[in-house]
A and B are shown apart, each in its own frame.
Chain A
Amino acid sequence: MSKVPDKSTANDETLVADSQKGDLEAFEELVARHRDKIYARAFSLMRNEDDALDLSQEAWVKGWQRLSQFQGDSSFVTWMTRIVINLCLDELRKQKRHRLESIEQMEEEVGGVERQMPVVVVNPTENLERAEVRQKIDWALGQLSAAHRTALILHEFEELEYKQIAKVMGCSIGTVMSRLFYARRRMAALMTGQKREE
């Protein structure tokens, strides 16, 4: 059997360069290294394990197909994250078309209630281990609607600016600001155990 260099010690740049030349083993090493991050991003948006698995794997396939387009302007994992985010948003749009209009209206009304909510002191880490805080955040993210959660994730975790979020989500900057505001206030209420007023 031919000897192939151990890919696990190569850095990302080398693996990407090798992958761009058609080395599937190098690409597999990149997948192994970064699959958790890409999957986590997909799950945070979709909140469904099967969807997150399918979409993250689809993202890797697209990454392989588009490798020649990767110029190194960002890190490889950032580039892959953008691919999986776009796939997730496309899927969310498809799913949204099947939802009842009344749910949409209700969510917008709920957004209005948050404008008048009293301010809360956010200190949910008190008496909690970091793992518990993360669990609570994960739970709270699951309570948001897809649109609000997406705006929050893109801003807080992906560190995108408002105009970048607007472009990715296909909405106006004003809508981004409203969704982000609502999401933050809702998260604060959930993390401190405040009940939302109906």
Chain B
Amino acid sequence: MKIIDFDTQLRLQSYLDGELDPAQAKEMAELLAKDSQAHLLLQELKATSVLLSGNEPALRVPESREFYWSKIARAIAHEMAPAPHERRRDPISWLGWLVPVSAAGLVVLMLSVGGQFGSGPHPRAGTSAEAPEIDSPLDDTSVMSFHSATEGMTVVWISSY
């Protein structure tokens, strides 16, 4: 029995996958009409493709939601914690907060009648505005921290090298 050359086999696959241009697709359709081997090969490729697309193995994470998340949260906190040399307050960086905080205060003042200045908008839970400030005098430790409003916890993990 004549074996289809490899190039044609690959083009059959491309025909199945819709990767041929119209002229090439027409050529392949003509081949399929007269070559039973090509036709059978196409059927095999198609059946395999159909079988796979409907039956991808369904896997579940083999860890509890909390434990799986805890490692992610620690890594995020570690990425977010500034390096020790950056923790000293830079007076210029605070100027960036001055305009939005002042604008918010002004809007609030305009809206209220006979009221007093409050403490300003409450920061969103979980952002760095509620994360603790941390100093680490020891060089051989690193720290990861974050705040969870849902759990009502601020968590600081201290690692030793």
Contacts and interface: CB of A to CB of B under 8 A. Distances in A.
Interface of A: 1-2, 4, 21-25, 28, 31-32, 35-36, 39-40, 43-44, 49, 53, 56-58, 60-61, 64-65, 115-116, 119-125, 130, 133-135, 137-138, 141, 152, 155-157, 161-162, 177-178, 180-181, 184-185, 187-188, 191
Nearest to B65: A32
Question: 5 closest Cβ contacts across the A-B interface?
Answer: A122-B47, A24-B126, A138-B57, A40-B59, A22-B127
B19 to A, nearest CB: 5
Given A39-B60, A40-B59, A64 B76 contact: yes
Contact of B19 (A36, A133, A161, A178): A161
B17 A155 contact: yes
A120 B44 contact: yes
Contact of B55 (A65, A137, A155): A137
A4 B127 CA distance: 14
A177 B13 contact: yes
A25 B126 contact: yes
Interface stretch (B22-30, B110-118, B132-140, B147-155): B147-155
Contacts of B146: 24
Contacts of B53: 156-157
B3 A116 contact: yes
Nearest to B60: A36
Query: Taking chain B's interface residues, is the majority helix, strand, or loop, or is none over half, making it mixed?
Result: helix
A184 B9 contact: no
A122 B127 contact: no
B51 A137 contact: yes
Contact of B52 (A119, A137, A177, A185): A137
22 contacts: A21-B124, A32-B65, A35-B68, A39-B59, A39-B60, A44-B57, A53-B63, A57-B72, A64-B76, A119-B41, A122-B51, A133-B51, A134-B56, A138-B57, A141-B57, A152-B52, A157-B52, A181-B9, A184-B13, A188-B44, A188-B47, A191-B48
Interface of B: 3, 6, 9-10, 13-14, 17, 19, 37, 40-41, 43-45, 47-49, 51-53, 55-63, 65, 68-69, 71-73, 75-76, 79, 124-128, 146, 148-150, 152
Query: Taking chain A's interface residues, is the majority helix, strand, or loop, or is none over half, making it mixed?
Result: helix
Nearest to A130: B55
Contacts of A36: 58-61
Nearest to A2: B149
Contact of A184 (B48, B65, B73): B48
Contacts of B13: 177, 180-181, 184
Given A119-B44, A125-B51, A49 B62 contact: yes
Contact of A31 (B40, B44, B55, B69): B69
Contacts of A124: 51
A2 B152 CA distance: 8
A123 B150 CA distance: 51
A21 B19 CA distance: 41
Given A43-B59, A122-B47, A184-B45, A162 B152 contact: no
A23 B125 contact: yes
A4 B125 contact: yes
A156 B75 contact: no
B76 A61 contact: yes
A115 B6 contact: yes
